[in-house]
């Protein structure tokens, strides 16, 4: 996804709002997951969201998403966010997040997700890391606050 950052997306300093970036990350992640599952999905978790650099009004925000791992009824997607200066073409990574989506039917019941074919060693490592993030998230959920 590519979008220009407009003044209505920005804070008084002229940088895109973090909430706007999170909204776009959720959309980009959902699109990748919908294309893999061809089913209804809900966002279940966001892991590792970091804001590394601000994005100025007038710059482009570029979001690249890809499914990293599939579990039984859920899947993880990685979304990388970049800014691009419109006049110079200079790009830098500004954010990254891992989101978990759950597949559901029209009644809100979980549905099984089609498997992900990992073809490269990097894809397999990314899926192993997703399993570790999932285990940690489930442990946090099980631990009383």
Q: What average pLDDT score do residues 76-94 get?
A: 97
Structural domain that includes position 46:
2-142
Q: What are phi and psi of 33, to 5 degrees?
A: -70, -40
Q: What average pLDDT score do residues 62-88 get?
A: 97
pLDDT at 140: 87
- Whether the model clears a pTM of 0.85, i.e. scores above it, the answer is yes
- Domains of the chain: total: 1
Which two structure tokens, joined as six digits, stand for 36?
A: 């893999």
CATH code where residue 119 lies: 3.10.129.10
pLDDT at 58: 97
- CB-CB contact of 19 with 60 (8 Å): no
| Nearest CA among 42, 38, 114 for reference residue 71 | 114
CA distance linking residue 16 with residue 22, whole number of Å: 11
Q: What average pLDDT score do residues 103-115 get?
A: 97
- CB-CB contact of 62 with 84 (8 Å): yes
């Amino acid at each position: 996804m590519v979008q220009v950052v407009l003044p209505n997306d920005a804070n008084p300093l002229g940088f895109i709002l973090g909430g706007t970036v999170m909204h776009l990350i959720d959309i980009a992640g959902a699109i990748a997951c919908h294309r893999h599952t061809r089913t209804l999905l809900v966002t279940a978790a966001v892991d590792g969201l970091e804001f590394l650099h601000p994005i100025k009004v007038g710059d482009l925000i570029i979001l690249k998403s890809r499914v990293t791992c599939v579990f039984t009824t859920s899947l993880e997607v990685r979304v990388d966010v970049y800014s691009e200066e419109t006049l110079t073409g200079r790009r830098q990574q500004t954010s990254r997040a891992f989101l978990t989506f759950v597949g559901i039917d029209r009644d809100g019941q979980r549905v099984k997700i089609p498997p992900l074919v990992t073809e490269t060693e990097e894809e397999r490592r990314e899926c192993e890391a997703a399993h570790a993030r999932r285990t940690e998230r489930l442990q946090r959920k099980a631990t009383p606050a």
